[in-house]
Amino acid sequence: MKKISVLLATNAPKAYDYSIPESLNLEIGAIVRVPFRNRELMGIAWEESTERFDESKLKEIIQNYPPYRLSNQTIDFIKFFSRYNFVTLGRALKLFIPQDYLVEKKKSIKTYKLDHNSIEAIKKTSARSKVIDLMRDGEIFLSASEISKETNVAYSVVKKLIENGILIEGEYVSQKIFKKKLYKGKLDLNSDQFSAAQKIITSIKDKKFERFLIDGVTGSGKTEVYFEAIEETLRLDRQSLVLLPEISLTEGLFERIKIRFGIEPVMWHSDLTKSKRREIWQDVFRGESKLVIGARSSLFLPFKDLGIIVIDEEHDHSYKQQEGVIYHARDMAISLGSYEKVPVVMVSATPSLETVLNVREDKYKKLHLPDRIGEAKLPAVHSIDMRDEAYIKNQWISERLKTEIKETLDREEQVLIFLNRRGYAPLTLCKKCGYRVECPKCDSYLVEHRFNPKLICHQCGFSLKISQSCPDCHTKDSLIACGPGIERITEEVINTFKGANIATLSSDNGKDAHQILKDMASGLIDILIGTQIISKGHHFPRLTCVGVIDADLGMANGDLRAAEKTYQLLHQVSGRTGREKLPGKSFLQTYFPSHPVIRSLVTSEREGFHEAELNIRKKGNLPPYGKLAAIILSDTDSSKLIKFCNKVKAAIPGSDSIIVLGPAPAPITKARGRFRYRFLLKADKKTNLQKYIDFWIKNIRKPSSIKLTIDIDPYYFL
């Protein structure tokens, strides 16, 4: 009897042995379906079985799914991912095979090519000529709907050409490079861009794992550099992966890629339909999808022949997955590159301090783009000291900024106003009794929204209708909104700049983001007000004035990366302006104009800011010089949770190289109805924190109601 160990795509800590039917010839990595308890589960043939026991008790593999097999590199990456992020092997595998339907047979699609010998036999019309011109160059295979879409002719025209034998059936490839279009959107590179691109291209040709940082000011043409590298990857018929921190950025990049390469890239994200997800997964597996762009989860697609990984906006903290399996997509992408032996290209105008240090230690190769392309110049950044501004009730935009906005509008140029706070007001209180409207499930205040009139908790999503009376003392008309969100700023802008075309953008109306950004780019919007969704990756030719309402927001929240995050965010926002011939200005409203972050932005002394921040981190042995890990415990019963935390504390192993802090209540102690306590571990860079944590907690019996989460390299401390 043949047997093999199968790793299940579930929360399995190890692989289980199964017998192999005589009809199956399995290789390691083959995707299979097996019985497990009273269910049937997906898994992969993991390794040869070495355990000895009664083979008659082994259950038999039900089915395998040729030709789907995970490569040896992918299996090694899954093992690393599991070890590093402290998750079971089965949960790591489930990232690669999240749903059974991915391996189901998809509907076949007929595609066609041009029969050159039959062209002369038909009567030419303008519509038919468009189709013939598209299909004439090379052996191009497209479906009827793709031909109709590409030529913008009626489907009936294409159907008639098929019936007349002008278009004949051929093989199907889902993502074709139209060679006549390949250079349609190609731009001339300057010397810095060309030099950077050539270094990456050399690494692609050599199939060599190297880490590059394209470090360029906003508007310096970083995207064109990695486009050049992707072009070489396509030329070699290999696959490219472009990671983006947020889905909202994919639409713009999608259009740029279509123009540049003449293909529609695959977009992988959570909103895909079941059938589209299956189609993409299988096409990537077969190597037919050559260019994939997406957020974190696109990292786990089963690439057949990966040639390059690009991590755009590598500094962005959205790459850190906080729910479910916790991991940092940037760091895992770098590890994937090492297993696949491909270059990893990080891109940023404000690189993370981890990346800055890796460049200094020669682990990453820096490709520097110091200047904006063409005639564009970097914007002048000014601070507005709000201590010098006269206080006017319910007004948040300074008189100086209002003057700059008016002058900008008079020149028929555009304005961007930034406040990283959703809703109308962050706090609602009773002016009679002082009651603050809180979330019943979380330690947080409800945020007032007026575009969608509700009080909403931004932690758990709990909402209430806006009341006319205080919930505590029941006094009528006593509730007042405190502080501004972007909806309140919008209200002020509408009242101040009458006649201007004004739009607001945040995650609350993210479904409209593509159209709003398109209107802004085409000049239809005069003033755009938004949160961090508008801070990066967008190009607005007539935008010349940026105003930041609360530049100090986020700098004093106890996060070790607070100053770094604020610097990156404000730099990116300021960088939206002056990206073409028109000069740009950025204004930061602040109560702390001498703060190192504000001072560095105004004086353009980025290196000085990096140096100061790195020195602070080094003294505290904090990342990137040291390592951190967090253990978060939660339960609906606070006394039960505290009792268990004390039990965990009593079991802390002694160590000369690891400091364990806690347990302490989390800053947001109650979230979604659960009380939360945290341990924080600090260690030197060379210390194996995962091994220490495993030794510490593996023998502690945990009550079933208590949830224990381990966060390696934490980015959030709330």
**pLDDT 10s digits, 598-607:** 999 999 999 9
* The two structure tokens encoding residue 344: 């990893």
Rg (CA), the chain: 28
Clarify whether residues 559 and 592 are in a common domain. yes
Is 439 a member of any domain? Answer: no
Q: Where are the alpha helices (DSSP H) in 497-529?
A: 513-521
Nearest alpha-carbon partner for 710 in 628, 627, 630? 630
Domain's final residue, options 618, 637, 667:
618
Clarify whether residues 306 and 207 are in a common domain. yes
The pLDDT of residue 181 is 45
Cβ neighbours around 685 below 10 Å, total: 10
Clarify whether residues 255 and 163 are in a common domain. no
Contact 343, 201 (CB under 8 A): no
Contact 61, 22 (CB under 8 A): no
Is 436 a member of any domain? Answer: no
Domain's final residue, options 559, 588, 618:
618
CA distance 102 to 68: 10
Q: Spell out the residues 6+ positions from residue 294 whose beta carbon is closer than 8 angstroms to its own.
A: 241, 242, 243, 244, 247, 250, 266, 267, 268, 269
The CATH number of the domain holding residue 86 is 3.40.1440.60
The CATH number of the domain holding residue 664 is 3.30.70.600
Give the rounded distance of the alpha carbon of 211 from its chain centre.
Answer: 19
Contact 169, 110 (CB under 8 A): yes
Clarify whether residues 205 and 293 are in a common domain. yes
The pLDDT of residue 53 is 67
Helix (H, G, I), strand (E, B) or coil at 668: strand
The pLDDT of residue 177 is 42
The pLDDT of residue 176 is 44
CA distance 53 to 61: 18
Contact 234, 242 (CB under 8 A): no
Is 437 a member of any domain? Answer: no
The per-residue DSSP string of 568-588 comes to HHHHHHHTTS--SSS--EEEE
Tokens 């949770």 label which residue? 641
The pLDDT of residue 178 is 39
CA distance 486 to 488: 5
Contact 409, 526 (CB under 8 A): yes
* The two structure tokens encoding residue 130: 């468009």
**Residue 640 belongs to domain spanning:** 626-712
Helix (H, G, I), strand (E, B) or coil at 72: helix
* The two structure tokens encoding residue 40: 């049937």
CA distance 15 to 113: 47
How confident is the chain (718 residues) per 10-residue block, as mean pLDDT?
89 90 90 92 90 78 91 96 96 92 76 79 83 72 80 87 83 45 67 96 97 93 95 94 86 84 86 88 92 94 96 95 95 98 96 97 96 86 94 92 97 96 93 93 92 91 90 92 95 96 90 87 95 84 96 82 94 91 94 94 93 95 96 96 97 95 93 95 95 94 95 92
The pTM of the full predicted model, rounded to 2 decimals, is 0.88
Contact 349, 575 (CB under 8 A): yes
Domain's final residue, options 588, 618, 648:
618
Q: What are the respective helix, strand and coil percentages of the chain, to the nearest 5?
A: 35, 25, 40
Clarify whether residues 610 and 647 are in a common domain. no
Clarify whether residues 258 and 406 are in a common domain. no
Residues 296, 297, 301, 303: what is their CA dihedral angle, to the nearest 10 degrees? 0
The pLDDT of residue 128 is 87
The pLDDT of residue 539 is 84
CA distance 625 to 619: 9
Clarify whether residues 248 and 323 are in a common domain. yes
Per-residue model confidence as pLDDT tens digits over 538-549: 889 999 999 999
CA distance 232 to 249: 24
Clarify whether residues 598 and 680 are in a common domain. no
CA distance 265 to 284: 11
The type of residue at 459 is Q
The type of residue at 562 is A
Q: Burial letters for 49-76: b for 16+ Cβ neighbours within 10 Å, e otherwise?
A: beeeeeeeebeebeebbeebbbbebbbe
The pLDDT of residue 256 is 87
Tokens 């299988």 label which residue? 282
Clarify whether residues 88 and 155 are in a common domain. no
Is 442 a member of any domain? Answer: no
Clarify whether residues 217 and 353 are in a common domain. yes
Nearest alpha-carbon partner for 717 in 589, 631, 611? 631
CA distance 415 to 436: 35
Is 263 a member of any domain? Answer: yes
The CATH number of the domain holding residue 583 is 3.40.50.300
Contact 535, 572 (CB under 8 A): yes
Domain count, the chain: 5
Contacts 24+ apart (CB under 8 A), 329-334: 329/243, 329/295, 329/296, 329/299, 330/243, 331/713, 332/81, 332/85, 332/299, 333/241, 333/243, 333/299, 333/309, 334/211
Backbone φ/ψ region at 373: left (φ over 0), alpha (ψ -120 to 50), beta: beta
The per-residue DSSP string of 140-180 comes to --EEHHHHHHHHT--HHHHHHHHHTTSEEEE---SS---GG
Clarify whether residues 260 and 303 are in a common domain. yes
Helix (H, G, I), strand (E, B) or coil at 103: helix
Q: Phi/psi of residue 363, each to 5°?
A: -85, -30
Contact 703, 644 (CB under 8 A): yes
Is 465 a member of any domain? Answer: no
Is 478 a member of any domain? Answer: no
The pLDDT of residue 591 is 95
Clarify whether residues 199 and 307 are in a common domain. yes
Is 466 a member of any domain? Answer: no
Contact 483, 425 (CB under 8 A): yes
The pLDDT of residue 106 is 67
The per-residue DSSP string of 272-331 comes to --HHHHHHHHHHHHHT---EEEESGGGGGS--SSEEEEEEETTT-GGGEE-SSS-EEHHH
Q: Nearest 5°: CA angle at 556, between 553 and 559?
A: 110
